[in-house]
Chain A
Amino acid sequence: MKPTEQQRIFEEWLGLHSGLLFKVVRAYAFNPHDQDDVFQEITTQLWDSVTGYRGDSGITTWIYRVSLYCAIGCSKQENRQSIIAEDQILLQKSNAVNPQLEWLYEQISLLDEIDRSLTLLMLDGFSYREIGDTTGISKNYVGVKLNRIKKRLTEQCTGEDNHGI
């Protein structure tokens, strides 16, 4: 694949699915510096993965898998070396913080790395089968895990009146 073609596809993916990357970044990194690092790692992996995409799975599924795997890897590396970037890549855009969403991300961050990825996929509307295909675990096990997560989230939600949920 020619570099120009690779760049075109990458930019197209980034344009259409950057929201997905932001969610993954926010679920796996908890301060602006780490978020910027994780975003750079993910986009680098995504850039490399463009040549390997054969269309066997949907683009969204592919991007989710690449970014989740990369984010899980980043979150496990305590002494991760940052990519040297002159500028900050991820720009904090909105000043208006949504407290309910903040609370939800906080709850997601309390889950382990694997459950976090299942939760993101579930909240973004993937079916059990799609989640199973993306993660490589059985549909039944996805169901069991997600039911536990749902139960946990709703219980936490019920107990948290001060967030206005």
Chain B
Amino acid sequence: MEFEDIQVIWNSEHDEPLYGVNEEGLHNTLINKSKQFRRVIFWQTFQTFCGCTIAITAIAGLILLNAFGVLGDIGSSRALYGWEIAALLVALLCWLQFGLSVYLGNRQQKKNGEKHDTTSLRDDLDKEINCTKYQINTRSQIMLGFVPPYIGSTLLIIIVFGVSGISYWAIVPVVVVMATALIIESRCQRRFVEQKITPILHELETLREKLTAPQHEATALVGSKNSTGL
């Protein structure tokens, strides 16, 4: 039995294809998948956009109301102090930074997704490995990513409580709840990275190793192997 006989067996599949395709079902699947993906992306962007817009509008509104001297009309006991205005500007910058970083991150991700610049399986693997590493880094540092809006929100709440005549101590439970939520989210992300993404990264790296690692063997053996007719 020679390899040519195996080739003949392989070619026999052309004579009698084993499968057919349900074209209508396939079309529906592709459309649904595409819609589902777009919907997820839309909601993620929408939520971030809404969060940022609400926070930025509230902060800017408070500064403007104070500037026009109408803060008292909406129930404030006094005008803003100088340090409070400075703190609000810091809060505004924090939220702008967060919104901008999310926007730029999404845009970069979209660009990467649309870019088909790979030319081989090895390139595909490298690209996937880089994307997975990027995801691991992003998710591992999610606590850092949420620090600016967290600071921004805390400053805003402190000042709103201050001008409303509520004791600054009332901020403590709010800060504790926000900190707890941040820690829980951060741990969930870390667990997700450890249990889901890191194994994927290892698998991808193993595949890449299988594909490329022992290439040096080839140079020694190639001379005698090129006479196979292919």
Contacts and interface: CB of A to CB of B under 8 A. Distances in A.
B16 interface: yes
B124 A94 contact: no
B169 interface: no
B119 A57 contact: yes
A113 B210 contact: yes
B228 A146 contact: yes
A60 interface: no
Contact of B6 (A90, A104, A124): A104
A98 interface: yes
Interface in A46-93: 47, 49, 51-54, 56-57, 65, 68-69, 72-73, 76-77, 83-93
Contacts of B207: 72, 76, 113-114
B18 A154 contact: no
Given A137-B211, A137-B215, A154-B3, A88 B22 contact: yes
Contacts of B128: 73
A34 to B, nearest CB: 13
B124 A144 contact: no
Nearest to B7: A123
Interface centre among B3, B10, B19, B21 (most CB of A within 10 A): B19
A110 interface: no
A65 B124 contact: yes
Given A65-B124, A87-B25, A128-B230, A19 B6 contact: no
Contact of B218 (A54, A56, A138): A138
Of B21, B114, B128, B212, most A-chain CB atoms within 10 Å? B21
A146 B230 contact: yes
Contact of B12 (A35, A98, A141): A98
B5 A93 contact: no
Contacts of B12: 98, 100-101
Given A22-B19, A100-B12, A101-B12, A65 B217 contact: no
A12 interface: no
Interface stretch (B27-35, B65-73, B146-154): B27-35
Contact of B13 (A43, A91, A101, A157): A101
Given A91-B22, A140-B221, A154-B6, 6 more contacts: A14-B26, A44-B29, A88-B22, A103-B9, A141-B215, A144-B217
Interface of A: 14, 18-19, 22-23, 25-26, 35, 39-40, 43-44, 47, 49, 51-54, 56-57, 65, 68-69, 72-73, 76-77, 83-94, 96, 98, 100-101, 103-104, 112-114, 117, 122-124, 127-128, 133-138, 140-141, 143-144, 146-147, 150, 153-154, 157-158, 165
Interface of B: 1-3, 5-7, 9-10, 12-14, 16-22, 24-26, 28-30, 32-34, 114-116, 119-125, 128, 200, 203, 207, 210-212, 214-215, 217-219, 221-222, 225-226, 228, 230
